[in-house]
Amino acid sequence: MNDNLAEPSVPPKLVWITTPDNYDPHLQERLRRKGSERVDTLRAAGFDVRIAHSCDIVPVWNGSPRLLWEKEDLLAEYAGFLVTSWSWDPAIIRHIEAITRTIRASDCVLLTDGTRDPEVLGLDKLAMYHHAAAQGVPVPPTVSVPFGRYARRALEAVRTELPAGPYVVKPRSMAMGFGVLKADTSQHLSSTIDLLTPGGLGCLIQPHVPNDGDVRVYVHEGKVIAALLREPAGKSYLANVSRGGSGSGYEPPADVVESSERLARSLESDYLCVDWLLTGDGHVFNEWMTVSAAYEDLPEPDRRRVADALVQYIRGRLDEGARRPL
C-alpha cells in the first residue's frame, strides 16, 4: 500500500500546474480576480486544490523524485496532479516534460495521463490520426511539415496527397485553437509554412473542410454521457468558444457515439473528450483530450453530469494510485 495515502478525514490533495506564460498577463489577472469554475467545482467536491506555476517548479532526483516549489517538495505527500502540458514555446514544453516525467516516477498520480501511452497519444495530433484511422474512424488527410529549410518539401506532398485549397495549418501539439491558420492559396500556404517552422512546434496541413462547427463528445467509463456543439461566429473558421464561437447541447448520431466509445476503449481511457468536425459528408475526427477539456459551456443537466463524472474519475484514479504497492 502507498504510505502517503491521507487519512479519510483529510481532503484528497490536487495540485494544478499551469503555465501563465501561455497567456497575456491581462488575462492572467482576470483569472486571478474571478477565479476558475473548474477549481471551484473540485473544491466543492472536497478536494484540497492548490495552484502552482510551472515556471516556479524545479524537478529533482535526490534519492527520490522531487518537485521543488519554493521551499516545498510537491511530491512529499500523496497527491493527484493536473498539468497543463501544451505551450507555444518549445523550451516551456521541454520543462513541462521534465515535470510530468518526474511525477510519473513518483508515487503520486498524473491525472492528465488519461490514455494508453500518454507520451505519444496525449497531445500529438498526428499520432491521434494514425490511431483513430486504425480503429476505423474517419480522419482528414494530413501532411506533416518537415523542419527548417526542408519545410517547403511538404508543398509537393500537399499537391499530390490533398485536394486543392483552401487549407488549414495547425501545430501538432497545441490546444484551444492556438496557431490554427487558414491558407486560401498555395502561396498563402507557402508563406504560412515559412512563418511557422522557425518556431519549432511542428505543424500539420489538412484540407479546409466547410463545416457547421465541431462536436465534443464526453465519454465516461466507456459510455457517452453528453455532447457539446460548438459553432463559429459569422464567417469565422474556428468554433472554439474561447475564440468567439458559441456552445449548445447536442444529440450525437449513433455512429459518432459508437466511434467515440470505441476510441475510449482502445485508449484504455475512463474519461475522454472526442472532438468531431461536423461536415457535409458526416462527422470527421479532429482530436481528443482528457481531463483538461472544457465542459463549462454545456447546458444543464449535461454540465453537472460531466462535472460529476470528472470528480468521480479523479477520485477513482487517486484511489487506484493509493492501492499500488510501493
Helix (H) / strand (E) element for 266: namely helix 254-266
- 203 and 217 fall within a common domain: no
- 263 and 275 fall within a common domain: yes
- 125 and 229 fall within a common domain: yes
In the beta sheet, which residues pair with residue 69?
A: 57, 72
Which residue matches cell numbers 447541447? 249
- 125 and 216 fall within a common domain: yes
- Does a structural domain hold residue 5? no
* C-beta of residue 318 within 8 angstroms of C-beta of residue 6: no
| Domain final position from 207, 224, 249 | 207
Angstrom distance (rounded) from CA 249 to CA 230: 9
Comparing C-alpha atoms, which of 54, 81, 86 is closest to residue 69?
Answer: 54
Angstrom distance (rounded) from CA 22 to CA 35: 17
- 58 and 92 fall within a common domain: yes
The arrangement of strands across the sheet holding 271-279 comes to: 246-249, 223-231, 211-220, 271-279, 282-289
Q: What is the pLDDT of residues 12-63, one digit of tens each?
A: 999 999 998 888 878 777 766 666 889 999 999 999 999 999 999 999 999 9
Give the domain CATH number at 274: 3.30.470.20
Q: What is the pLDDT of residues 99-151, one digit of tens each?
A: 999 999 999 999 999 999 999 999 999 999 999 999 999 999 999 999 988 99
- Does a structural domain hold residue 323? no
3-class SS of residue 73:
strand
- 162 and 251 fall within a common domain: no
Q: pTM value?
A: 0.90
Angstrom distance (rounded) from CA 89 to CA 23: 12
Residue 252: exposure state from Cβ atoms within 10 A (0-12, 13-18, ≥19): buried
Q: What is the pLDDT of residues 293-310, one digit of tens each?
A: 999 999 999 999 999 999
Nine cell digits for residue 118: 500518454
- 150 and 276 fall within a common domain: no
- 287 and 223 fall within a common domain: yes
* C-beta of residue 194 within 8 angstroms of C-beta of residue 186: no
Q: What is the dihedral of CA 53, 56, 61, 62, to 10 degrees?
A: -130
Q: What is the pLDDT of residues 92-112, one digit of tens each?
A: 999 999 999 999 999 999 999
Angstrom distance (rounded) from CA 304 to CA 310: 10
- Does a structural domain hold residue 319? no
In the beta sheet, which residues pair with residue 277?
A: 214, 284
In the beta sheet, which residues pair with residue 287?
A: 275
- Does a structural domain hold residue 60? yes
- 134 and 234 fall within a common domain: yes
Which residue matches cell numbers 484551444? 176
| Domain final position from 159, 179, 207 | 207
- Does a structural domain hold residue 168? yes
- Does a structural domain hold residue 318? no
- 148 and 268 fall within a common domain: no
- 47 and 64 fall within a common domain: yes
- 232 and 86 fall within a common domain: no
One-letter identity of residue 16: W
- Does a structural domain hold residue 153? yes
Angstrom distance (rounded) from CA 86 to CA 203: 14
Q: How many domains does the chain have?
A: 3
Angstrom distance (rounded) from CA 185 to CA 52: 43
- Does a structural domain hold residue 125? yes
Q: What is the pLDDT of residues 211-243, one digit of tens each?
A: 778 999 999 999 999 999 988 655 555 555 555
Give the domain CATH number at 93: 3.40.50
* Boundaries of domain holding 280: 118-138+210-308
Angstrom distance (rounded) from CA 103 to CA 229: 35
Comparing C-alpha atoms, which of 102, 91, 14 is closest to residue 57?
Answer: 102
